A and B are shown apart, each in its own frame.
Chain A
Amino acid sequence: MTTRDGKSSVDTVYQTIPDFSFLNQDSVYISNEQFKDQIYIADFFFTSCSTICPTMHRNMKTIFEKYKDNPDIKYLSHTIDFKYDKPSVLKRYAQKLGVDGNQWQFVYGTKDSIYKLAEYSYLVAVMEDTTSRDGYVHQGWLVLVDRQRRIRGAYDGTNPEQVAQLMKDIPVLLNEDKK
């Protein structure tokens, strides 16, 4: 915030998410349209991940359950396992996680599109790593995006304190310039 001529205004240049289009767990293309005028939490994972993803999604599911009836908030999980996590695999995973409806989207895209979006737009490091057992490594950020596609926060999805902070920040963002 900055004050000029007695008026305060925001002078932050926010990181903004560009257009995207990916196949979701129902093999339907989804894009920014589905997240229009809604806030959402984005993350990067893969279904066979045995390290941080289960914890991230355990926490994300807690949030999901809490806002289950609120159409203003959505969730977007991108898989980084472009070889194995086809939509059918994502569907199976979502069902096993106990997620239904369209509020939480699991999306599949080419390596190029997903990895670029992760690194340059959501600012989450993801990579293939043949030395790790699972074949991929990635950061566990839960990225909070506002109604104008701007990143407003990133929280370590494996850290209970940061997840608690995320749960405090969601209502603030939900109440911001509500239409």
Chain B
Amino acid sequence: MRKVIICVLFLSAIATIIHSCQNANQMKQDIYYVNGRDIYIKNCQNCHGSNGEGLAALSPPLTDSIFLKANKHQIACFIKHGINTSITVAGRKYEENMPPVDHLADIDIAQVIVYITNNFGNKQGMYTPEQVRADLNNCK
């Protein structure tokens, strides 16, 4: 009987640890999201809109989850270096240049990516500064 109780206690302790870990990760993502919102308002919202709706054929919307998923590792490059080729988002072609936002640090880019990819109907989860650094080393 004692063994059973110890076992149950042990398992529940493990479960609590795992659970709080997940909470800590979720917490970190939430912090990134909130900080990312401020960065978005300051650097992105003028063109992409407060609801990520874009602006006619001038700026693409940020609501195309399929595009964001397919270009997951290019988003950091788009932000840091801008875009000067035409891209197709949500079935529409966009040809205007996107200016680079090169004053953002890796962590800022990670935060704004978390905000964009978990808002406007997207749900891609966490993105870390390490991932951003790796992406920036592989920009096309």
* A97 engages B99 (CB within 8 Å): no
B54 to chain A, nearest CB (A): 10
Encode contact with A along B84-114: 1 for CB under 8 Å, 0 otherwise: 0000000000001101000000000000000
* B57 engages A58 (CB within 8 Å): no
Asked if A168 CB lies within 8 Å of chain B CBs, one says no
Encode contact with A along B31-56: 1 for CB under 8 Å, 0 otherwise: 00000000000000111010000011
Task: Kindly state the separation between the CA atoms of A64 and B27 in the bound complex, as whole angstroms.
Answer: 43
Most A Cβ at <10 Å: residue of B56, B59, B96, B97: B56
Within residues 48 to 77 of chain A, which ones have a CB less than 8 A from any CB in chain B? 48, 50-55, 57-58, 61
| Closest chain A residue to B96, Cβ basis | A96
Encode contact with B along A93-104: 1 for CB under 8 Å, 0 otherwise: 101111000000
* B46 engages A97 (CB within 8 Å): no
* B56 engages A98 (CB within 8 Å): yes
Asked if A133 CB lies within 8 Å of chain B CBs, one says yes
Please name the 7 residue pairs, one residue from A and one from B, whose CB atoms are nearest each other, closest first.
A96-B57, A98-B56, A54-B47, A50-B99, A96-B58, A54-B46, A97-B56
Task: Kindly state the separation between the CA atoms of A94 and B58 in the bound complex, as whole angstroms.
Answer: 10
Checking A54, A95, A133 against B59 with a beta-carbon cut-off of 8 angstroms, the contacting residue is A54
A13 to chain B, nearest CB (A): 36
Which A residues are closer than 8 A to B by beta carbons? 48, 50-55, 57-58, 61, 93, 95-98, 133-134
* A58 engages B99 (CB within 8 Å): no
- Asked, given contacts A52-B46, A54-B46, A58-B49, whether A133 binds B55 with beta carbons under 8 Å apart, the answer is no
Task: Kindly state the separation between the CA atoms of A95 and B46 in the bound complex, as whole angstroms.
Answer: 19
User: Which residues on B sit within 8 Å (CB–CB) of A97?
Assistant: 55-58
| Closest chain B residue to A95, Cβ basis | B57
User: Which residues on A sit within 8 Å (CB–CB) of B46?
Assistant: 50-55
* B99 engages A133 (CB within 8 Å): yes
* Known interface pairs A50-B47, A55-B46, A93-B58; 11 further A-B residue pairs with C-beta atoms within 8 A, sorted by A's residue number: A48-B97, A51-B46, A52-B46, A55-B45, A61-B56, A96-B58, A97-B55, A97-B56, A97-B57, A98-B57, A133-B99
